[in-house]
Structure 1
């Protein structure tokens, strides 16, 4: 199953689930006070620099990419452990939100969409 096999209602549920889980986590943790943000941002940067050169040669579901997505999920889980739907919502947020799209696409012009697809595959297979 890929993203094209599902309707928009499912993706809206994923977006809403991400917002609900993030809001609850922010409230429960004093706005993620437990997260070392400097280290987390450095880890995101390192990961995205590893993913960027793969985008033109690999598919989001390829094993090497999915291994990197395990790291992506681990980093995301420093804030809170997202459910399958919330994690998919995160990938959609990368594509939907212009600031997030611009941030990710600074690594590679197709990064936001590639991550959205890779997150979806990882969530469906591993969460």
Structure 2
């Protein structure tokens, strides 16, 4: 299952949750002044490289080792603010729908956005 399989109402709710939670967090934290952005970017790079290797090796989004990687993804995102289940799914939707985000993520692997979206959906359904 991928985020493209969310029904339109659920997808809209997730997009809205992401926007609302990010806006509130930005306002409460002086535009995320508390976040070490250089460290976050290094951690994203390391994580996405590992996910790309997993995709190449034939892993599936629901595989436990992939879910552990997605747990790290959630932890990195939570350095900004801990997203709710809906906001986390909204993030996956943004990766797929925003051209720049899709291009950046898919620079690690051509199937990154599709794979990560499915993995984030599974993680949200089972752990958030």
- TM-score, length basis structure 2: 0.94
Greater RCO, 1 or 2 (C-alpha within 8 Å, sep 6+)? 2
Residue 122 of structure 1: aligned partner: 123
1:15-59 Cα offsets, whole Å, 9 max, x none, are 110010000000000000000000000000000000001114011
For structure 1, the residue ranges without an aligned partner over 5 or more in a row are none
Moved over 4 A (4+): 1-5
Provide the rounded CA distance (Å) in 2 between the counterparts of 1:2 and 1:49.
Answer: 21
- Superposition pairs of residues 1-127 of structure 1, within 5 angstroms: 3=3, 6-56=6-56, 57-127=58-128
For structure 2, the residue ranges without an aligned partner over 5 or more in a row are none
Shift of 1:110: 0.6
Shift of 1:6: 3.8
Alpha-carbon spacing, 1:3–1:91, altered in 2? closer, same or farther (3 Å): closer
What secondary structure, in the 3-state scheme, does the structure 1 residue paired with 2:110 have? coil
Provide the rounded CA distance (Å) in 2 between the counterparts of 1:38 and 1:2.
Answer: 30
What secondary structure, in the 3-state scheme, does the structure 1 residue paired with 2:40 have? helix
Provide the alpha-carbon RMSD of the alignment. Answer: 1.4
What secondary structure, in the 3-state scheme, does the structure 1 residue paired with 2:33 have? coil
